Structure 1
Amino acid sequence: RQLDPNIGASSTIEDLETQVFQKTFSLRAFSNISFELGPGVKFSVAVYALASEARPPAKEYVDYDTEAPVEKRQTDVLEDTKWLEEEIDNRTRAKFELKKAIKIGGECIVSEQSEIEELGRFDAKGIVLLGFRPISEVNLMNHIQPSRFIYPDESNVLGSACLYRALLERCWERKMAMICRFCSRANQKVRLVALVPHMSHKTENRTDTIRDYDFDGFHVIFLPFAEDVRDVSEKMKCPQGEWPHPSKSDVHVASAFVKKLTGSYNPSQYENPRLQSFYAMIIENVVGEQIVKPTDTLLPYHARPEWAARVKKESESLIKHFHLNELESMTTSTGRKRADDSSHNGVRSKKAKADVAEMDTHEMAKKGLLDTLTVAQLRAAIGEHLACTVKQGTKKAELVAMLKKHFKV
């Protein structure tokens, strides 16, 4: 909602709340750029930000006694300058007197500011088509910044809307995304993006709140370069070999819980609790009493009586099926049992471990004690006797079987 020009005529706080919805932002385009489909084939588009984080007003420093605004200045001085006023004035450097240094491999590479800027300039601003790719084969989760939205700009190039609409309908029909080189402003970094088509299919049954966030057009998804991708596959592996596979009953119970808890979503349902608390505090300081009470729209389902009652049966079934209410008692009893065993059999276990440590791997295989070794010890024994390496994720039982087969036990 836009700010009402007649806001000064408000007589009650309730009337004021209906007129001031949130801080207003400029509705102009983020940038106006050209879209190059090929040599000599260009049309104009405008880039918009459909979502921008709303923050409280910027804070300023004021004098402690007079509460007058203070001005903050930043000064660049030489590193060995002592904090004396006359030395700072003599050794202060302006921006044009500075260079930039980059330390790589222990060496310091000094460059001028203009040279650093030239390194990032590859081409003029605009969108250049690189090719098409099925949407299902583009990993849209690995975006590196919030998406943008492009829309045809008829004010710069006539016929842009016609060409834009033809591309949109064809890409939507074939479920294809356009991979492009993207630079929205001059002297800005070049990005690799995917233009993903979206058609809203609006009907008369849809509410106006949903229509406010739904448009026909291309969403600009910022994709990572090869150097930006991190390989964390080793961290995703199960430490004990393979992750357990759920049974059909497990899937059925979890599916019932998810289905019962499924609800609708649009951005107007959730408000920023920080902003709600901030503006409630401002109103309380101005009026002198708490008129507006902030509401937390991010409460979990079990903290809302209507949602908790809705999913009560499925929640109890989920807890009972997976024994979630027994996890704490199982952990406590296991720890107590281990403590009792270690206190009563401490001397005997230490003696047994000493005897096992003095045995040879061949002797342990004959006596059936290979199961007492750790996975690291089994791997070391296989590397010593079999002269081979074991792939990561091999189970302990398989390592024991390899040693038994080698020693013909």
Structure 2
Amino acid sequence: MTAPAIEDLLRELTPQVLGALVRRHGQFEGCEDAVQEAVLAAAVQWPAEGVPGNPRGWLMTVATRRLIDQLRSDLARRERESAAAVDEAPEVPDTDDTLVLLFLCCHPALTAASQTALTLRAVGGLSTAEIARAFLVPEGTMAARISRAKQRIREAGSSFRLPAGAEREDRLRVVLHVLYLIFNEGYTASSGPELHRADLAREAIRLTRTVHARLPGDDEVTGLLALMLLTHARRAARTTPAGDLVPLAEQDRTRWDRRLVDEGTELAKAALAGPALGPYQLQAAIAATHADAATAAETDWRQVHALYLILERIAPNPMVTLNRAIALAEISGPRAGLALLSRLDGDERMAGHHRLLSVRAHLLEAAGDPAGAYEHFRRAARATASLAEQRYLEARARKLPDGR
């Protein structure tokens, strides 16, 4: 088995082994550390010695031994817990607790940043160093964030079970939001030299597939998976060989991943067939509408605008309004789009945001105001921490009459 295949296998097995260990021993923090040590041992041994016949059982055995060592170091519980753990052979239950683990990592006591980091560590199987690199923070900072997250879960006294009723629905929405954040950071990195981080996007898709496999009847889960697949399908066409950004309207659509487009489209249709509409279903429908057009000129902008209008009503958000302004401009002209954008000027969440500045620059250019467009492209370039976006925005400014 190749090294990448072993890495994929370990990421798949990590939450299963951790869930089984937590269910048995009931201490998330100690179990998570033990499983990470077992995964590290596997990453070193398996490429050299071969993957064992029962890799999940191997990880369970090694993680249990690591946990026993931890328990033995705790003098207060040495006789009671370590003896019981030594005498019993580690079980490898058939149940997969990945969904339960996701709910635990997305505990409401945690911040969104902590939920994301803990999900990538405990469920995604990424090391602390990998997560730190993905979010461009020092490894020590990320380690402290993850440690505090595990401590808060312990202090909250959360049990290892799926919540019931309304609490389960609320927690599932948090899980989906965390997966959405992970995917977005992978698809368009908020900072750094690269436009995207494909490893994060793929991990978000893998985890969302896991949730969908366990909750196939949830239309919002289906919608989120469809949205990710349809969006990720464009990845190869989003940059030039030099790494420069290529906007949607200029992308070579023959480079889109047709397999992902087809799967995402079918999932989007299935999600819309449900009795109610949610934000992920609507975003998936918008992505499917773009995917259905062979060229940018063939895009059904009226349908896109109508979908954004519904989305704006059920899940008000300034980014939704901004995207609706783009669609409105395609239908009624750039001045109509600019008028809608003006509604966002008083929204503190959008103050100085590079997306608002760049969209306004684009519409000003289309409306025949090159000087205004130049100024806003330059301001947008200064407002983003993404070097790929900076290069694109500065290049757009240089093409205008005032761009010297």
- TM-score normalized by the length of structure 1: 0.18
**Greater helix percent: which structure?**
2
**Greater strand percent: which structure?**
1
Pick the structure with greater CA Rg: 1
- TM-score normalized by the length of structure 2: 0.18
